[in-house]
Amino acid sequence: MTRSDLETLSRLLHQKHELDARIAAIVGRPAQIGHVGEFIASKIFAIDLHASASHKGSDGLFREGPLAGQSVNVKWYAKHENVLDISLGAVPDYYLVMTGPTPVVWTSRGGNRPWLIEQVFLFDAAALIADLQALGVKVGVASGVRKATWSAAELFPTAASPLLTFSPEQRHVLSLFGANGAPAP
């Protein structure tokens, strides 16, 4: 890496810090993928977030619809890698998982993890954990979840799960965060 590379990197990081500050001003929390994902999910899925970002087990409660009053842990993964972080210490009623694209190459070398929402999934947490344990899967950080289980839990873009339905407006807003997202201002 040359001095020129370091100077360019320094400028880019300063630009990133400015963008992060603007994002934090909107979401009310640091511009990290988890916090931003919780904010997006709260607006699209009518979730009342807990006042504390460190609430044990869940990020909030569904405000309306068939899941009203149910706790939810929101996850946003930049890539869909068929893994889910699950804590057995405090299990929510549901996991709402937003993912970016499925990686074509399974290495991070030279890659990028853009914050995109290409798919959304909703898992009944107790049923998922029981299924994983029955299969002998170690439940915890990066628990491997079968592709068929992901497919059955999909809400967006394919509506396979009957747990929650979307309005055309919700689908439109979700699509803004995909690879073909919002038009430039």
| Phi, psi torsion values for 99, nearest 5 degrees | -130, 155
pLDDT of 69 reads 97
Count of domains forming the chain = 1
pLDDT of 177 reads 95
pLDDT of 102 reads 85
Residue 181 domain flag: no
Residue 15 domain flag: no
What's the pLDDT band for 108 if we cut at 50, 70, 90? low
For the chain, percent of residues with pLDDT exceeding 90: 71
Residue 9 domain flag: no
Distance CA 116, CA 62 (A): 23
- Matching residue, tokens 């509506």: 159
What's the pLDDT band for 12 if we cut at 50, 70, 90? very high
Supply the range of the domain harboring residue 168.
46-175
Residue 167 domain flag: yes
In this structure, the number of other CB atoms found within 10 A of the CB of residue 90 comes to: 11
Q: Are 11 and 69 in contact (CB under 8 A)?
A: no
Residue 112 domain flag: yes
Residue 125 domain flag: yes
For the chain, percent of residues with pLDDT exceeding 70: 95
pLDDT in tens, 134-174: 999 989 888 889 999 999 999 999 988 888 988 899 999 99
Q: Are 13 and 20 in contact (CB under 8 A)?
A: no
Across the chain, where does the E strand assignment appear?
47-49, 60-62, 71-77, 83-84, 94-99, 119-124, 143-144, 154-156
Q: Are 141 and 75 in contact (CB under 8 A)?
A: no
Residue 114 domain flag: yes
pLDDT of 123 reads 96
Residue 153 domain flag: yes
